[in-house]
Amino acid sequence: MNESEEESTPQNSGETVSDDLAASPEATQNDVRLADAAANEQVLSESRRYTRRAFLVAAGASIAAYGAYHYLYNDTRDLMQPPPLRNAFRFNADISRTVFDSHALAPTYPLSRARDLRVNGIYGLKDMLEPDSYRLQVVGVRDAQERSQFVPDVTAWEYRYTTTADKESAGTTPRWTQTC
Protein backbone atom coordinates (compact mmCIF):
# COMPACT_ATOMS: atom_id res chain seq x y z
CA MET A 1 0.00 0.00 0.00
CA ASN A 2 2.61 2.47 -1.06
CA GLU A 3 2.09 5.03 -3.74
CA SER A 4 5.67 6.17 -4.33
CA GLU A 5 7.20 5.26 -7.69
CA GLU A 6 3.64 5.52 -8.85
CA GLU A 7 4.32 7.38 -12.05
CA SER A 8 7.71 5.89 -12.80
CA THR A 9 6.27 3.13 -14.95
CA PRO A 10 3.75 3.98 -17.62
CA GLN A 11 0.46 2.14 -17.28
CA ASN A 12 0.42 0.62 -20.72
CA SER A 13 4.12 0.23 -21.24
CA GLY A 14 4.73 -1.49 -24.53
CA GLU A 15 1.26 -0.95 -25.82
CA THR A 16 2.52 0.50 -29.04
CA VAL A 17 5.03 -2.26 -29.67
CA SER A 18 2.62 -4.65 -31.29
CA ASP A 19 1.04 -1.86 -33.36
CA ASP A 20 4.42 -0.87 -34.78
CA LEU A 21 5.32 -4.43 -35.61
CA ALA A 22 1.94 -5.12 -37.14
CA ALA A 23 2.34 -2.10 -39.36
CA SER A 24 5.71 -3.07 -40.68
CA PRO A 25 5.44 -5.41 -43.67
CA GLU A 26 8.27 -7.76 -42.69
CA ALA A 27 6.72 -8.48 -39.28
CA THR A 28 5.30 -11.95 -39.03
CA GLN A 29 2.40 -12.94 -36.85
CA ASN A 30 4.89 -14.74 -34.65
CA ASP A 31 6.85 -11.57 -33.97
CA VAL A 32 3.64 -9.81 -32.90
CA ARG A 33 2.83 -12.63 -30.56
CA LEU A 34 6.27 -12.62 -28.98
CA ALA A 35 6.25 -8.86 -28.53
CA ASP A 36 2.80 -8.99 -26.93
CA ALA A 37 3.86 -11.77 -24.61
CA ALA A 38 6.96 -9.79 -23.61
CA ALA A 39 4.87 -6.70 -22.95
CA ASN A 40 2.44 -8.75 -20.85
CA GLU A 41 5.35 -10.19 -18.92
CA GLN A 42 6.50 -6.66 -18.18
CA VAL A 43 3.03 -5.78 -16.85
CA LEU A 44 3.00 -8.92 -14.72
CA SER A 45 6.40 -8.20 -13.22
CA GLU A 46 5.29 -4.66 -12.41
CA SER A 47 2.17 -6.13 -10.79
CA ARG A 48 4.29 -8.52 -8.74
CA ARG A 49 6.41 -5.61 -7.52
CA TYR A 50 3.32 -3.72 -6.30
CA THR A 51 1.93 -6.88 -4.72
CA ARG A 52 5.14 -7.65 -2.81
CA ARG A 53 5.41 -4.12 -1.47
CA ALA A 54 1.72 -3.86 -0.54
CA PHE A 55 1.71 -7.17 1.31
CA LEU A 56 4.88 -6.19 3.21
CA VAL A 57 3.13 -3.00 4.36
CA ALA A 58 0.04 -5.08 5.22
CA ALA A 59 2.16 -7.46 7.30
CA GLY A 60 3.73 -4.49 9.10
CA ALA A 61 0.29 -3.00 9.76
CA SER A 62 -0.98 -6.33 11.12
CA ILE A 63 1.94 -6.52 13.54
CA ALA A 64 1.31 -2.91 14.59
CA ALA A 65 -2.38 -3.74 15.17
CA TYR A 66 -1.40 -6.72 17.29
CA GLY A 67 0.93 -4.48 19.30
CA ALA A 68 -1.83 -1.91 19.74
CA TYR A 69 -4.14 -4.63 21.07
CA HIS A 70 -1.55 -5.60 23.67
CA TYR A 71 -1.02 -1.98 24.62
CA LEU A 72 -4.79 -1.62 25.09
CA TYR A 73 -5.48 -4.87 26.80
CA ASN A 74 -2.84 -5.96 29.28
CA ASP A 75 -2.86 -6.65 33.01
CA THR A 76 -2.81 -3.06 34.28
CA ARG A 77 -6.14 -1.70 35.44
CA ASP A 78 -7.46 1.74 36.31
CA LEU A 79 -10.67 1.28 38.30
CA MET A 80 -11.05 -2.18 36.79
CA GLN A 81 -10.56 -1.00 33.20
CA PRO A 82 -7.41 -1.04 31.05
CA PRO A 83 -6.04 2.53 31.34
CA PRO A 84 -6.66 3.58 27.70
CA LEU A 85 -10.26 2.40 27.96
CA ARG A 86 -10.69 4.18 31.30
CA ASN A 87 -9.33 7.34 29.69
CA ALA A 88 -11.87 6.93 26.91
CA PHE A 89 -14.64 6.75 29.53
CA ARG A 90 -13.36 9.99 31.11
CA PHE A 91 -13.08 11.62 27.69
CA ASN A 92 -16.64 10.56 26.82
CA ALA A 93 -17.97 11.86 30.14
CA ASP A 94 -16.19 15.16 29.55
CA ILE A 95 -17.79 15.51 26.13
CA SER A 96 -21.22 14.70 27.58
CA ARG A 97 -20.82 17.43 30.21
CA THR A 98 -19.81 19.90 27.50
CA VAL A 99 -22.48 18.97 24.98
CA PHE A 100 -25.47 18.28 27.22
CA ASP A 101 -27.02 20.67 29.72
CA SER A 102 -26.70 19.17 33.19
CA HIS A 103 -29.62 21.35 34.35
CA ALA A 104 -32.01 20.00 31.73
CA LEU A 105 -34.87 17.90 32.99
CA ALA A 106 -35.34 14.37 31.76
CA PRO A 107 -38.60 13.80 29.89
CA THR A 108 -41.40 12.42 32.04
CA TYR A 109 -44.30 10.22 31.02
CA PRO A 110 -47.65 9.36 32.61
CA LEU A 111 -47.55 6.32 34.83
CA SER A 112 -50.17 4.66 32.63
CA ARG A 113 -47.53 4.29 29.92
CA ALA A 114 -45.24 2.29 32.19
CA ARG A 115 -44.81 -1.41 31.55
CA ASP A 116 -42.98 -4.09 33.51
CA LEU A 117 -41.71 -1.68 36.15
CA ARG A 118 -38.75 -3.17 37.93
CA VAL A 119 -38.85 -3.24 41.72
CA ASN A 120 -35.50 -2.08 42.97
CA GLY A 121 -35.19 -4.60 45.82
CA ILE A 122 -37.89 -5.70 48.22
CA TYR A 123 -36.25 -5.00 51.58
CA GLY A 124 -36.86 -1.29 51.95
CA LEU A 125 -35.92 0.77 55.00
CA LYS A 126 -36.29 -0.29 58.60
CA ASP A 127 -38.09 2.95 59.42
CA MET A 128 -40.07 5.30 57.24
CA LEU A 129 -37.99 8.21 56.01
CA GLU A 130 -39.38 11.69 56.51
CA PRO A 131 -39.54 13.05 52.96
CA ASP A 132 -38.43 16.55 54.05
CA SER A 133 -35.13 15.22 55.27
CA TYR A 134 -34.38 13.43 52.04
CA ARG A 135 -31.38 14.62 50.04
CA LEU A 136 -30.17 13.48 46.66
CA GLN A 137 -26.82 14.48 45.33
CA VAL A 138 -26.09 13.95 41.68
CA VAL A 139 -22.44 13.14 41.08
CA GLY A 140 -20.53 13.53 37.86
CA VAL A 141 -21.68 17.05 36.96
CA ARG A 142 -18.94 19.53 36.15
CA ASP A 143 -17.84 21.83 39.03
CA ALA A 144 -20.26 20.19 41.43
CA GLN A 145 -18.72 22.07 44.41
CA GLU A 146 -19.83 25.41 43.00
CA ARG A 147 -23.51 24.49 43.15
CA SER A 148 -25.53 25.70 46.14
CA GLN A 149 -26.97 22.23 46.75
CA PHE A 150 -23.53 20.65 47.04
CA VAL A 151 -22.74 18.87 50.31
CA PRO A 152 -19.12 17.74 50.75
CA ASP A 153 -20.16 14.66 52.69
CA VAL A 154 -23.66 13.34 52.02
CA THR A 155 -23.29 10.76 54.76
CA ALA A 156 -23.07 13.60 57.30
CA TRP A 157 -26.58 14.75 56.47
CA GLU A 158 -29.06 13.80 59.14
CA TYR A 159 -32.00 11.82 57.84
CA ARG A 160 -35.07 11.73 60.01
CA TYR A 161 -37.26 8.69 60.33
CA THR A 162 -40.64 7.91 61.76
CA THR A 163 -40.88 4.60 63.48
CA THR A 164 -43.63 2.29 62.31
CA ALA A 165 -45.28 -0.47 64.24
CA ASP A 166 -44.82 -3.09 61.55
CA LYS A 167 -41.15 -2.93 60.63
CA GLU A 168 -41.49 -5.80 58.16
CA SER A 169 -43.64 -3.83 55.78
CA ALA A 170 -42.18 -0.38 56.24
CA GLY A 171 -41.19 1.07 52.94
CA THR A 172 -41.50 -2.21 51.09
CA THR A 173 -44.56 -1.33 49.05
CA PRO A 174 -43.75 1.19 46.35
CA ARG A 175 -46.39 3.86 46.11
CA TRP A 176 -47.03 3.33 42.40
CA THR A 177 -48.32 -0.19 42.97
CA GLN A 178 -51.26 1.31 44.84
CA THR A 179 -52.33 3.40 41.89
CA CYS A 180 -51.79 0.89 39.11
Nearer residue to another protein within complex by CB, 101 or 132? 101
For residue 64, CA distances in Å to 1, 59, 61, 82 come to 15, 9, 5, 19
- The b-or-e profile of 59-98 (16+ CB within 10 A means b, else e) is eeeeeeeeeeeeeeeeeeeeeeebeeeeeeeeeeeeeeee
Q: Cβ distance 71 to 84 under 8 Å?
A: yes
Give me the least distance between CB of 97 and another protein, in Å please.
Answer: 10
Taking the complex as a whole, the smallest distance from the CB of residue 17 to another protein amounts, in Å, to: 10
| Comparison of 24 and 163: residue with beta carbon closer to another protein | 24
Q: How far is the CB of 107 from another protein (least distance, A)?
A: 5
Cβ nearer to another protein, comparing 95 with 151: 95
Q: Minimum Å distance from CB 84 to another protein?
A: 7
CA dist 172 and 124 (Å) reads 5
Instruction: Compare residues 53 and 167 and give the one whose CB is closer to another protein.
Output: 53
In angstroms, give the least distance from the CB of 58 to another protein. 6
10 Å CB burial of residue 27 (0-12, 13-18, 19+) is middle
Q: Which is closer to another protein, CB of 43 or CB of 129?
A: 43
Question: Rounded to the nearest 10 degrees, what angle do helices 29-72 and 83-99 cross at?
Answer: 80
Q: Which residues contact 36 (CB under 8 A, 6 or more apart)?
A: 17, 18
Residue ranges that bind another protein, judged by CB under 8 A: 1-3, 11-12, 15, 18, 29, 32-33, 36-37, 39-40, 43-44, 46-47, 50-51, 53-55, 58, 61, 65, 72, 80-82, 84-86, 88-89, 92, 96, 99-100, 104, 106-107, 116, 118
